[in-house]
Every structure is written in structure tokens, then in C-alpha cells.
Amino acid sequence: MDDDRRGPQLPPARGPLSAAVTAYLRDTGPLPRTGDADDADPYGDDLQLALYLCYELHYRGFAGVAARREWDPDLLRLRSALEDRFLTALRADTPGHDGLDEALADLLVEPVDGSGVSHYLADEGELWQLREYAAQRSLYHLKEADPHAWVLPRLWGRAKAAMAAVEFDEYGGGRAARVHARLFADLMRDLGLDTAYGRYLDAASAEALATVNLMSLFGLHRELRGALVGHFAAVEITSSPGSRRLAGAMRRTGAGPAAEFFYDEHVEADAVHEQVVRHEVIAGLLEEEPHLAGDVAFGIDATGHLEDRLAGRLLADWRAGRSSLRVPLETETVSVS
């Protein structure tokens, strides 16, 4: 079917780049010049939304947008310019480690001051803040593990087998009801949020968009396969303790059993995944391609950089008593996707 009506609606633009991409996808206007990306804030709303729109064509697309747009050469040319702007900024701004061993070791160290988002939500977060957090994270969690699946054709041997095993768990071990994206939709339902895919794209901050765009950037480029493995390692190694705190926050605020279960599931599963990723995926990759060690470290560091930016935005807003969302949540009529 050329006209795909199953995806979410295109969101409102956030600047000239995203406005032009939206118009082009609607067949109502031309794309901007690729050079226009050079002047855009690499972490800003306009560039991040424009890049997200380009990437989403490789997932579910958008309602009313022709499926063939996924491989539109002019759109791919613009996407490349947006990616170059984003990736150049990441390489310049990401605090680098001396090596992969140091990067991995730092992932195992919990912040002594307990200043992260999961600490805040566990200790003093309110239900409205948990709802906002879930809305922001839904851009990834409703397609959980999909960006990482892009790396499978780029791996072989131990790394491929181990990565496939972890992905199998993420997709519910063959049981539809246990697919992690489905479990997150159940969490959202407990929180009174709309579970429709892409529903909160317009509400999500630029910082949240950047964390999702990073996965797609790494996943869609074979030359960045090492960085994608590094990103995956950062997510899996840090997930278990953070999920334990978030599960506690859900219990303390009475969010509901499905909200608790999503994070309880990640406490147990990701503790196992951590070992598999470190000792099989990373070790297997470097056994075959040792020259990718620096890319793996960069993936870890870039992930931390963007997660820190998101955490700073969330905590600054919440501590000031204001919404972290561009469009504050209203009372939702829950839909089942």
C-alpha cells in the first residue's frame, strides 16, 4: 500500500527545517537546502524533530505519507546533512574516556550523590512527573529494541548470536503479551496515558528526541555499528538499578500493577543482559573487529552525554514546579494500540 494510513499524524513543526520536511511529506512544499542544516542548533527542537521525521519513515511512518518516501533520494540527502550536524556536535561535545575499559567501568559506578532522574522519582517524584516521564520515554519504549535490531545484519559469530538472544528477550521470548513495547503500553494505561504509537511526539522535548534519534543514527549506519553496540551496552548495564528505583516510585505513588511490572521486569532481565552484552556482544565484536573499540566507547559516551542533557532538563523543570513537556498533559481518553 503506497499511502500508509496506519502511522501517527505528522506533528506541528518547530522551525523552518521541520516545517519544510513536514510540507514535503505532505506534498505541499519543497525541502530546504542541505546547507540550511549547518546553521541549526544540533540539539535544538527544529533539527531534532526534522531528523526524527526522517528516521520514523524507517519504522511505522506517518498517516497519509507515501511509504515510498522512506527511500526518497532528496529526503535522504537532507537527512545526511542533519546527521552530519548532529554527529559532529556529539563528537565535539562528548566527554571521552581514555579507552573502552574505562568507559565500561564508569557504567558500573552509581552516582554517589543520587542526583539522577530515577533517584529523584524514587525519593520525591509525584504521579504527574511519572506520567510526564512515561510520555517522554514512550517515543522509544513503544518501539523498544527496534533501533538495536538494525545492528544484527552487521554482526557475526558470538556478537550476533548474543545480540539476537537479548533482542529475543526484548521481544517477549516469542510471547506477544510479554513484548516490552506491549508492557510499556500497559504501564501507560495504568498512568492514564494514551497508548497510541507516537501520540506524545509533539509534547516531547528536544532532549528526549535526541536520545531516540541517537539510536536510529547508530542503527541505520553500518559504519557506526560499534557505536550502536556501545549505546546498547550503556542502556543494558545501567538499566537494572535505575529500573529498581522506578519500580519503587511506581509503588510509592500507587501508579498501578502494570506500571510496577514494567520496571520489575527490567530489573531482572537487564541484570542478565548486562553480562551477555559485556562478555559476549562486546567481546565477540572486538574479537572479530578490534579496531571498533573506540567506536564502542564513543557510543557509551554519547549516550551518557544525551541522557545527562535530558536529565538536566527534566530535573530543572520539575524542581521549579513546571511541566517538562512542550505540550502539558491533559486528561487522556486511553486508546488501545
143 within some domain: yes
Whole-structure pTM value: 0.94
81 and 163 co-located in one domain: no
CB atoms within 10 A of CB 248: 17
CA-nearest of 187, 147, 185, 186 to 167 is 147
308 shares a domain with 251:
yes
Would you say residue 335 has pLDDT above 60?
A: no
H helix runs in 220-292, sequence order: 225-253, 257-276, 283-288
Three-state DSSP class for 189? helix
The answer to the question of residue 248 being in a domain is: yes
Q: What is the CATH number of the domain that holds 181?
A: 1.20.910.10
Residue 15 has pLDDT above 90, yes or no: yes
One domain for residues 74 and 104: no
Domain co-membership, 159 together with 234: yes
Same domain, residue pair 119 and 259: yes
Considering the domain architecture, whether residues 45 and 180 belong to the same structural domain is answered as: no
Give every CB contact of residue 276 below 8 A, 6+ residues apart in sequence.
Answer: 162, 165, 166
Determine the pLDDT at residue 112: 56
Q: What is the pLDDT of residues 84-131, one digit of tens each?
A: 999 999 999 998 777 899 999 888 877 656 779 999 999 999 999 999
Same structural domain for residues 82 and 118?
A: no
What residues does 65 pair with on adjacent strands?
4
Supply the range of the domain harboring residue 59: 3-92
At 126, list the grid cell: 509525584
Q: Which range is least confidently modeled, 41-55, 67-81, 88-102?
A: 88-102
Tell me which amino acid residue 337 is: S
**Are 62 and 113 found together in one domain?**
no
Q: Are residues 80 and 201 in the same domain?
A: no
| Domain match, 139 and 13 both | no
Report the alpha-carbon angle 98-100-104, nearest 5.
Answer: 110
φ/ψ region of 218 (left if φ > 0, alpha if ψ in -120 to 50, else beta) reads alpha
Length of the chain: 337
Averaged confidence pLDDT in the chain: 93
Query: How far, in Å, CA of 83 to CA of 42, rounded?
Result: 9
One domain for residues 71 and 140: no
Examine the domain organization and report whether 212 and 226 are in the same domain.
Answer: yes
Query: In this predicted model, what pLDDT tens digit does every residue of 182-230 receive, in sequence order?
Result: 999 999 999 999 999 999 999 999 999 999 999 999 999 999 999 999 9
pLDDT greater at residue 27 or residue 240 = 27
Q: How far is CA 200 from CA 16, 24, 74, 127, 226, in A?
A: 21, 22, 28, 18, 30
- Our count of domains for the chain comes to 2
